[in-house]
């Protein structure tokens, strides 16, 4: 059944499976507040999402004029961000419409993994709160900087665990980092047009673009 060239799927998390920007914004602002710093509006935070919490915090500090902030402050902010995320992983955001139905339909025939620049513990907490964790064979988070997309390492590891070649693992994501990781791994990619990324900002147009989750099904021949 399906597209014989695709044997497994890898999904980005934030902006692809879940509209988690409100939760990320809440966790960031909580962390900033605990350190006596001002927070930011959701629209500003949404534009910073995609590279994980440490770059997010760095962008917030730069916007506050503290690009050269003491490492101890960065460490405190990251610890507070993680605490706030784990305390309420998806209290403010939501699963994108159509995602749960899509994963339910795909699960019997395509093993699926999440590949995210969010650390694994935080990613699993969000997926669990979203009710999506049971549909997934694996979750890969960027627990060290070298793993972050657009590096191909997480996609390569997922392909190995799922028992497919990288060329048979379809990456679905909403950011340049997702498309870059797929290109670096030699994997095909689909642009999720409902997410946070800007298609015109990509250096190269992806092979496929979808604007609703169910538009993935014809690509897979489902």
| Catalytic site positions | 12
Rg of the chain over Cα atoms, rounded to whole angstroms, equals 17
CA-based end-to-end distance of the chain: 7
What span, in angstroms and rounded, lies between the C-alpha atoms of 91 and 97? 16
**CA distance linking residue 28 with residue 14, whole number of Å:** 15
Whole-angstrom CA distances from 159 to 142, 143, 175, 184 are 16, 18, 20, 13
Residue 189 and residue 194: Cα distance in Å, rounded? 15
Tell me how far apart the alpha carbons of residues 182 and 184 are, in angstroms, rounded to a whole number: 5
Nearest C-alpha neighbor of 132 from the set 7, 5, 2, 12? 12
- What tokens does 157 get? 């590891």
């Amino acid at each position: 059944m399906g597209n014989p060239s695709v044997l497994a799927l890898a999904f980005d998390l934030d902006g692809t499976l879940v509209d988690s920007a409100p939760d990320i914004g809440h966790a960031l602002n909580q962390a900033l507040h605990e350190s006596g710093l001002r927070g930011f509006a959701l629209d500003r935070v949404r534009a910073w999402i995609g590279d994980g919490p440490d770059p997010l915090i760095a962008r917030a500090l730069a916007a506050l004029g503290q690009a050269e902030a003491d490492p101890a402050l960065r460490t405190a902010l990251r610890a507070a961000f993680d605490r706030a995320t784990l305390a309420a992983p998806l209290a403010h955001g939501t699963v994108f419409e159509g995602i749960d139905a899509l994963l339910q339909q795909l699960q019997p025939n395509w093993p699926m993994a999440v590949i995210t620049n969010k650390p694994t513990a935080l990613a699993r907490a969000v997926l669990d709160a979203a009710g999506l964790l049971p549909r997934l064979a694996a979750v890969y988070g960027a627990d060290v900087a070298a793993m972050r997309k657009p590096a191909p390492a997480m996609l390569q590891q997922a392909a190995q665990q799922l028992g497919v070649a990288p060329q048979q693992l379809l990456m679905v994501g909403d950011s340049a980092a997702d498309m870059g990781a797929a290109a670096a791994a030699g994997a095909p990619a689909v642009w999720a047009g409902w997410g946070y990324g800007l298609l015109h900002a990509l250096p190269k147009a992806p092979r496929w673009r979808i604007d609703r989750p169910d538009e993935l099904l014809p690509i897979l021949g489902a």
